[in-house]
Chain A
Amino acid sequence: MAEITPGRAYGFFTDTSVCIGCKACEVACKEWNQLPGHEPAFGDGFDNTGGLDAQNWRHVQFIDNVPDQTMGTGQGKAWLMMSDVCKHCKEASCMEVCPTGAIIRTEFDSVYIQPDVCNGCRNCIAACPYDVISQDEQKGVAQKCTLCYDRMQGNMEPACAKACPTDSIQFGPVDELRQAAQQRVTDLQEQGVTEARLYGDDSSIYGGLNAFFLLMDKPEAYNLPNEQNAVLPRRNNAGGYLATLGTAVLGVFGGLIALRRRREPAAEEGDQP
């Protein structure tokens, strides 16, 4: 791979159509980032990790839609597997709510939590629309995928991408990944896999995701917010504010009416001898 250059945006293209659910990404991530992980516990047999959190920065989701009759194309549609990760959003809500400035955008355009600046307030945990962040109870700080910031500074691709045997996880400059993803989705469409779609490759999802995906079903199938929902509330969101104002006005009116109504029967009651 070409040299990893500061000033360029880097990210992941996770192509779920070739994911085989081997979890090499989960293990490689834990090994490199020295994450101890949780106490072993049975989940549902195939997913015993549960979700992304302070100990799990990659998590393979398994979505079992296998029909009784299993003939027909597997093609990554019947048993969906997706290696989930922090999306490194362009409009990163975690960054917006961080009161200490611990969460920064790095020279590689990734979203990074500086552990020594984090005060453990948990605002980012609540703010993340993807449920990516959680608190490391030992260290008292919020943790998530760093896009292997330390590896990138040493000109190495992130551990998960390095370990992925089928290149489901591809790492590179975001503009190049977007081109490759476009080609892949076109190829799949031509092969008749019409459900294949990209998620987060353009600005429709939180202004664009540096870690974006090729999905084999609707985003909702993977518990991802769709285009309508993936909008960040913000100060210049005039439409949103006006709507909120309208709701507030209606609410006040409603309240007044309710109060008045409450008073009326009360008055009636008072009339009773």
Chain B
Amino acid sequence: MTNHWRDIRHADLILVNGANPAEAHPVGFRWLMRAKLDRGAKLIHTDPRFTRTSAVADIHLRIRTGTDVAYFGGLINYVLENELYHKEYVEYATNAGFVVADNYEFSDGIFNAFDEDTGLYNTDAWTYETDGSGHAKIDIEHPRSVLNLLREHYSRYTPEMVARISGIPQDQFLEVAKLVGEMGRPEKVMTIVYAVGLTHHTTGVQLIRSGAILQLLLGNVGRPGGGMNAERGHANIQGNTDHAISWEILPGYLKIPAPGQKNLDDYVEKSASTKLHGLAENFFGASYRNFMVSLLKTWYGDAATKASEFAFDHIPKPAENASWISIYDQALRGRMEGLMLSGMTATSIGPDSNQVLKALSNLKWLCVMDAFATTSSEFWHAPDMDPATVNTEVFMLPATHWIEKDGSFTNSGRWVQWKDPVLPPEHESRHDHWILAELFLRVKDLYRQQGGKYPDPVFELTFPYRDPRKPTLDELAKEVNGSDLTSGKRLASFADLKADGTTTAGDWIYTGHYPESGNLTKRREGIQNPAENDPTGMGFYHNWAWSWPLNRRVLYNRASADPQGRPWDPQRPGIRWDADKGLWVGDVPDYSPDTPPGPNAPLPFIMTGEGTGRLFSNSVADGPFPEHYEPIESPVENPLHPEVSTTPAAYLYDKQAGRPNRFGTVADFPYVATSYRLTEHEHYITQHVEKLVQLQPEAFVEVPAELAKEKGIATGDRVRVASKRGKLEVRAVVTKRLGPLQVDGKRVYQIGIPIHWGFVGISTGQHWLANALTPFVGDASARTPEFKAFLVNLEKI
């Protein structure tokens, strides 16, 4: 989230897209309800299904899954056409006035710099016209200014086109567009709330960017009650992301080095943003080396010296994509021997569970660290599996549950909150980090005894814990925070990190959470005394836990005030310039606190090379502006450019590996399906929780009433739902909450697939995995699987 949960109550309008917070985030949902109840905010839920969120929304728009780029595109077009954008904000805080280089082109669904052979864009080609100093040319009237190219790009997204693509009737779309258009006024603010309903598409990143562009145009980024707010799906998934759960980053969103980068200079040159405007701080780009050297110093200690390039060579430089689906692709290609799973179950998570099961069967060994038996630790029990043909040796290591350990959770709003263990660990279970420590020490021993390839990273890794076999999370938190090696003191800010090897930081964005004064994530000064703990009344509660970066509660908050430092809306200030004190006051400023506003002040978005928010961006793989592409499996051709119907930049694993095609067509699989969670369960683990199994005991699919009538299906009947990849045989729930859509003149039905059931848990014998249906393909940039849009057939059994 750019903002945080409590902040949502400041919004005048709440767009919920690709999310179902009433069901998936019922506790956080109170803040959406507070906005409604206390300030009369309108809540608009745009979703394929009428859910428990829609039930309390003011408007529900039924949208075809995977078409939110068209919906947001329509809103962007409406705001631009009717000159409803926040002009002063857009000129001050976005790259609207930057002039794009003259190689820019978009025709017939393809941007410039696409390589047909590799299926990749050269994103470096999407750039600005620059002057001699490398700064971008600024001229908002220029025909190739970002604003003018944006107008041109989105002019195709008329209400008619939005309706043709998304199935949202024009009058309904325009009613919402009118409400959204009002949010460009400085005294109004809108928030966009989203979740994996936007992420789980081949166009996932662009779906989210579409929302961000709309928010930048309306001047709503950086402001309380505004922003682009991702609801994270687990208590600590934000913490996971921050600490590099994704293959392509190191902790703190530093890029993983790529082959060919021989030293730190190469790495920084390829990874860090460059300054594109005279007044841009380019803080991230300028500090990149400080952060990377401090990380290397943390990991490799004395071996990280100037002479050794701070052990830069110890960091792997993956030659190929190593994201989630790629792991199984590698196993299917027979290139993977073993796999360790911790805190999740691959079999259930998919995509294309049958193919994942095959991948697991191809392994020599599989090690599952979990508190409970999972569909992976018992994967040979899956439907249609013949245990006799599985040669994989499976190890189950009993791990503690989070309820049995301390440590921090980082929530969606970036608040890092320390917790205590509630129960002592049972039997022989161990903490995951103890298992990993033990494993590391044994591997190190083996290297010592037997030698091996490239032992240096193993021998030189620092392991400075009191009991190396049992590091405490407190020790790890201090290590993550980082220290000044000269004074031996822990640091209070990442601004003090250096590139000369005198500082450490295990994750620079967490520097400051555990300074010398103590672990700030344990603080709980909250609503017991609002007058003292929330002096601005804006709900920042700076002494409740700690949020990255630097305890800032709203990111990019310099943009909450005008160039003179006055809040756009004095009723809902983020920060403001206090001329008497000579300081920015309010939230922790996203900005040097004593730098006065004025024509020569740094631009508000301190992290980017532009110094502004980016309407045009070269940091995504599939286009500098979002464009609507159909899901890989779609019932219609893309009305915008049928020749390039799906994104050209998606990586098709089976095709590339020479395996048979696993995508179906509308002729055989006529219905659109989407998968999701229900409020009663949390992924798969709650199949072990009796009270929740009682609430939601059995797998089902939701079927539109009209379609059910055609097929003679009633609630409770058993049905077979099949995709090209697999099937489910479960009960039907017939409802009008999933109605038919008119898409490009065609009647389209959508079927809903809750994900929670498998063959492990209290109710055994339900051998159906929702992800048996989902396609083995992911987003062009992030490779996140397309769980939310695929084709199926439906039959009554």
Contact = CB atoms under 8 A, between A and B. Distances in A.
Contacts of B731: 42, 45
Nearest to B763: A40
Interface string B37-64: 1001000010000101111111111100
B679 A18 contact: no
Contacts of B52: 20-22, 79, 81
Q: Which 7 A-B pairs have CB atoms at the shortest separation, nearest pair first?
A: A40-B697, A45-B733, A20-B22, A79-B55, A22-B26, A42-B698, A74-B57
Nearest to A67: B736
Nearest to B736: A66
A75 B58 contact: yes
A44 B696 CA distance: 10
B169 A71 contact: yes
Interface in B271-288: none
A48 interface: yes
Contact of B715 (A40, A44, A71): A44
A66 B58 contact: no
Interface size for chain B: under 10, 10 to 19, 20 to 34, or 35 or more residues?
Answer: 35 or more
A40 B700 CA distance: 14
Nearest to A17: B56
Given A23-B680, A74-B45, A40 B56 contact: no
B695 A49 contact: yes
Contacts of B715: 44-45
Contacts of B306: none
B23 interface: yes
B739 A70 contact: yes
B59 A68 contact: no
B27 A45 contact: no
B26 A69 contact: no
B695 A27 contact: yes
B702 interface: yes
A30 interface: yes
5 contacts: A44-B716, A68-B739, A68-B740, A71-B62, A71-B175
Given A22-B23, A23-B679, A191-B40, A76 B695 contact: no
Nearest to A81: B55
A217 interface: no
Given A18-B37, A20-B29, A74-B55, A79 B169 contact: no
Interface string A113-125: 0000000000000
Interface string A20-34: 111110110011000
A235 to B, nearest CB: 42
A38 B695 CA distance: 10
A152 to B, nearest CB: 22
Nearest to A75: B58
B693 interface: yes
A41 interface: yes
Nearest to B21: A20
A166 B38 CA distance: 13
A70 B46 CA distance: 11
A74 B26 contact: no
Contact of A20 (B55, B172, B762): B55
Nearest to A21: B52
B127 to A, nearest CB: 43
A229 interface: no
A82 B706 CA distance: 27
A72 interface: yes
A20 B53 contact: yes
B694 interface: yes
A167 interface: yes
B59 A76 contact: no
Contact of A78 (B50, B62, B695): B50
A37 B694 contact: yes
- Grouping DSSP codes into helix (H, G, I), strand (E, B) and loop, the B interface class, with mixed when no group exceeds half, is mixed
B737 interface: yes
B58 A79 contact: no
Interface string B720-753: 0000000000010101110110000000000000
Contact of B55 (A38, A45, A76): A76
Interface in A38-80: 38, 40-42, 44-46, 48-49, 64, 66-76, 78-80
Contacts of A66: 50, 735-737
Interface in A219-248: none
Contacts of A69: 739
Interface of B: 22-23, 26-27, 29-30, 33, 37, 40, 45, 50, 52-62, 169, 172, 175, 679-680, 690-698, 700, 702, 705-706, 715-716, 731, 733, 735-737, 739-740, 762-763
Contacts of B716: 42, 44
Contacts of B763: 40
Contacts of B172: 71
A18 B35 CA distance: 12
Contacts of A48: 694-698
A44 B716 CA distance: 7
A41 B59 CA distance: 34
A165 interface: yes
Contacts of A38: 694
Contact of A167 (B30, B62, B696): B30
Interface residues of A, number: 42
Contacts of A20: 22-23, 26, 29, 52-53, 55-56, 679
A70 B54 contact: yes
Contacts of B57: 74-75
A44 B700 CA distance: 10
Contacts of A31: 691
Contacts of B691: 27, 30-31, 37
Contacts of B54: 70, 74, 78-79
Contacts of B59: 71-74
A216 B559 CA distance: 41
Interface in A150-171: 165-167
Nearest to A40: B697
Given A19-B56, A70-B60, 13 more contacts: A20-B55, A21-B679, A23-B679, A27-B695, A40-B697, A66-B50, A70-B61, A71-B61, A74-B45, A74-B55, A74-B57, A165-B30, A166-B26
Given A68-B736, A81-B52, A42 B697 contact: yes
A41 to B, nearest CB: 6
Given A42-B716, A66-B735, A167-B30, A74 B695 contact: no
A42 B766 CA distance: 13
A109 B691 CA distance: 30
A116 to B, nearest CB: 27
Interface centre among A31, A37, A49, A80 (most CB of B within 10 A): A37
A72 to B, nearest CB: 7
A216 to B, nearest CB: 10
Contacts of A191: 40
Contacts of B29: 20, 165-166
A19 B52 CA distance: 9
A115 to B, nearest CB: 22
A258 B466 CA distance: 100
A65 to B, nearest CB: 9
A192 B420 CA distance: 47
A24 B45 CA distance: 23
A64 B56 contact: no
Contact of B694 (A19, A40, A45, A46): A40
A189 to B, nearest CB: 14
Nearest to B55: A79
Nearest to A15: B37
A23 B678 CA distance: 11
A45 B698 CA distance: 8
A17 B30 CA distance: 13
Given A20-B53, A27-B691, A165 B58 contact: no
B679 A22 contact: yes
A40 B169 CA distance: 41
Contacts of B23: 20, 22
Contacts of A166: 26, 29-30, 33
B693 A40 contact: yes
A28 to B, nearest CB: 10
